[in-house]
Amino acid sequence: MTNFQQSSKLKPNKKEIARLKNQALILKAAETIFANQGYEGASMNSIAVAAGVPKANVLYYFKSKDNLYETVLETILAEWNLGLTDISRDDDPAQALTSYIARKVRLACEQPMKSRLIANEMLRGAPFLSSHIREFTRPWFRGKVAVIEHWIESGKIQPINPEHLIFMIWASSQYYADYQTEILILQNKLEYEEQDIIEITQSLKQLVFAALGLSA
Amino acid sequence: MTNFQQSSKLKPNKKEIARLKNQALILKAAETIFANQGYEGASMNSIAVAAGVPKANVLYYFKSKDNLYETVLETILAEWNLGLTDISRDDDPAQALTSYIARKVRLACEQPMKSRLIANEMLRGAPFLSSHIREFTRPWFRGKVAVIEHWIESGKIQPINPEHLIFMIWASSQYYADYQTEILILQNKLEYEEQDIIEITQSLKQLVFAALGLSA
DNA sequence: ATAGCAATTGACCTATTGGTCAACTGCTAG
DNA sequence: CTAGCAGTTGACCAATAGGTCAATTGCTAT
């Protein structure tokens, strides 16, 4: 090949740089606005303004509102389980759960918009996400349930309903993102601090560990 | 007084009956649609159609979309803590918490739209609810935190962070309403059954009781 | 019976929505 | 240097939004 600039990865010229920068700018703005206003509440114009580009430019990169929304959702889902160390049957329950809970709580507190966007989608009946849940979340979920059942059978933890254990860990962590407004008012705070994240993690861990008969 | 039909309560004529019936019809339809579509997603027309009345009639009874939305929220809040037996420091922790958890879970599973409507409002930053939270929820919350602290000091339960304990009970129960779509897919079910409510209640109680050192 | 008012409703208003389009700009390849 | 195309953008469009209004209906008190 005489031309080594064919593929996009090998052609980082001004146009490509501008395109990637604009796409990222729009996606970031869209994530925030979709998370705070919901799908219907977010207007393409407000997203364009937040991104600092004309509305027509948003629709140039993303063919429709649906397309933009789906792209934002996919981006979030890709990061959603990133950094969540996977849990397998040979792991030590105390260690695995400690790590999982800590990361879940931190993710919810530090990047609440991701959880909120998914919450908005769920409240609408998950029109865009239900197929993803069926295809990816369900197998993952079944796997983790099996791991917990194995831990119970081998006497590593006390008997408990594995499905509801998982749901309650999800619930307790995501609540701090989705209901942040209420929690901050009740605690008379303006925002979460590092100490809050530590306390939330500790409290949730205490609940789970006590029920499973694990020691901290 | 010669006329005993002055007050509305003493004048149940056709007009009044029709008015109350229509208002109830509209409120019920609005609750469902606001809960499923959110404030922005719900249109006055769709609410009118769901209620079976012309749109202009909806705006005759409720002066604006804001007014209708606020009325729906107030109606829900009035029922929200109804049936939730209050908890005081002299109560037996095991009994009080058992009752509270059971009713919370049942409310979430049987009337998920109420929780979802509040969740939608929270995700938007609680523009209509924040004053209510400050005025009513916060004093209630402080009171319950004090009760739990008293239980801890008098040795009735093991030490725990009272605020996060309450949040996690709220989170775990409301999750079954707000994320119902996901849970049903993961469990391969069409709807919650009585047995599910029992199991959820039991699992949540198990978590809380273990942490507090209470026996079932 | 009838005056008067609550309630009903279709037509209509303006603002905003998601989306299109054609004219324009400027980078890049040859 | 320049042809051509990716990218940019203001103007525009039909559909729908929340809300108004005036004409009409029908119940009720006298």
Distance from the A54 Cα atom to the nearest Cα atom in chain B, whole angstroms? 23
Inter-residue long-range contacts of A49-53, CB under 8 Å, 24+ positions, other chains counted: A51/A22, A51/A25, A51/A26, A52/A25, A53/A22, A53/A25, A53/A26
Quick one: average pLDDT of A120-145? Answer: 96
State whether the beta carbon of B190 lies below 7 angstroms from any atom of strand D: no
Say if residue A137 is in the same domain as residue A174: yes
Residues in B closer than 8 angstroms to A125, CB to CB, are 36, 181
Out of B40, B123, B141, closest to residue A178 by CB: B123
User: Residue B151 and residue B31: Cα distance in Å, rounded?
Assistant: 38
Q: Which nucleotide is nearest to B43 (CA to C1')?
A: D17
SS3 of A87-124: the string is CCCCCCHHHHHHHHHHHHHHHHHHCHHHHHHHHHHHHC
Q: Which of B71, B94, B121 is the last residue of a domain?
A: B71
CB atoms B137 and A208 under 8 Å: no
Assess whether pLDDT exceeds 80 at residue A5. no
Contact A186, B137 (CB under 8 A): yes
Task: Say yes or no: A179 contacts chain B, CB-CB below 8 A.
Answer: yes
Q: How many distinct structural domains can be found in chain A?
A: 2
Task: Say yes or no: A198 contacts chain B, CB-CB below 8 A.
Answer: no
pLDDT at residue A13, rounded to an integer = 77
Say if residue B130 is in the same domain as residue B33: no
Assess whether pLDDT exceeds 80 at residue B206. yes
CB atoms B122 and A179 under 8 Å: yes
The model's pLDDT over B6-19, given as tens digits with 9 standing for 90+, comes to 333 445 577 788 88
Name residue, tokens 């009970």: B169
Assess whether pLDDT exceeds 90 at residue A2. no
Assess whether pLDDT exceeds 50 at residue B110. yes
Say if residue A48 is in the same domain as residue A90: no
Say if residue A111 is in the same domain as residue A184: yes
Out of B124, B134, B168, closest to residue A37 by CB: B124
Mean pLDDT, chain B, whole residue set: 92
Distance from the A80 Cα atom to the nearest Cα atom in chain B, whole angstroms? 15
Assess whether pLDDT exceeds 70 at residue B143. yes
Q: Which of A30, A47, A72 is the last residue of a domain?
A: A72
- CATH number for position B187: 1.10.357.10
Q: Looking at residue A127, what DSSP letter applies?
A: T
Residues in A closer than 8 angstroms to B180, CB to CB, are 122
pLDDT at residue B12, rounded to an integer = 59
Residue B138 belongs to a domain: yes
Say if residue B65 is in the same domain as residue B85: no
Q: Which residue of B has its CA nearest to A138?
A: B186
State whether the beta carbon of B49 lies below 7 angstroms from any atom of strand C: no
Contact A77, A135 (CB under 8 A): no
Residues in B closer than 8 angstroms to A203, CB to CB, are 160-161, 164-165, 168
Residue B113 belongs to a domain: yes
Say if residue A87 is in the same domain as residue A125: yes
The model's pLDDT over B49-74, given as tens digits with 9 standing for 90+, comes to 999 999 999 999 999 999 999 999 99
Say if residue A141 is in the same domain as residue A173: yes
Q: Which residue of B has its CA nearest to A141?
A: B186
Buried b / exposed e along A173-192 (16+ C-beta atoms within 10 A): bbbbbbbbbbbbbbeeeeeb
Residue A5 belongs to a domain: no
Say if residue B92 is in the same domain as residue B143: yes
CB atoms A186 and B200 under 8 Å: no
pLDDT at residue B216, rounded to an integer = 74
| Full residue range of the structural domain in which residue A34 is found | 13-72
Residue A207 belongs to a domain: yes
Say if residue A179 is in the same domain as residue A106: yes
Distance from the A188 Cα atom to the nearest Cα atom in chain B, whole angstroms? 9
Q: Which of B46, B71, B96 is the last residue of a domain?
A: B71
Residue B1 belongs to a domain: no
Residue A8 belongs to a domain: no
Residue percentage of chain B with pLDDT more than 90:
87
Q: Looking at residue A133, what DSSP letter applies?
A: I
Quick one: average pLDDT of A2-7? Answer: 33
Residue B187 belongs to a domain: yes
Assess whether pLDDT exceeds 50 at residue B1. no
User: Residue A162 and residue A143: Cα distance in Å, rounded?
Assistant: 11
pLDDT at residue A12, rounded to an integer = 61
CB atoms B171 and A167 under 8 Å: no
- CATH number for position A34: 1.10.10.60
Say if residue B31 is in the same domain as residue B134: no
Residue B5 belongs to a domain: no
Q: Name the residues in A30-89 having a C-beta closer than 7 Å to nucleic acid strand C.
A: 42-46, 55-56, 59, 63-66
Say if residue B87 is in the same domain as residue B49: no
The model's pLDDT over A188-201, given as tens digits with 9 standing for 90+, comes to 999 999 999 999 99
Say if residue A112 is in the same domain as residue A138: yes
Contact A96, A87 (CB under 8 A): yes
Residues in A closer than 8 angstroms to B181, CB to CB, are 122, 125-126, 130, 133
State whether the beta carbon of B65 lies below 7 angstroms from any atom of strand D: yes
User: Residue B74 and residue A107: Cα distance in Å, rounded?
Assistant: 33
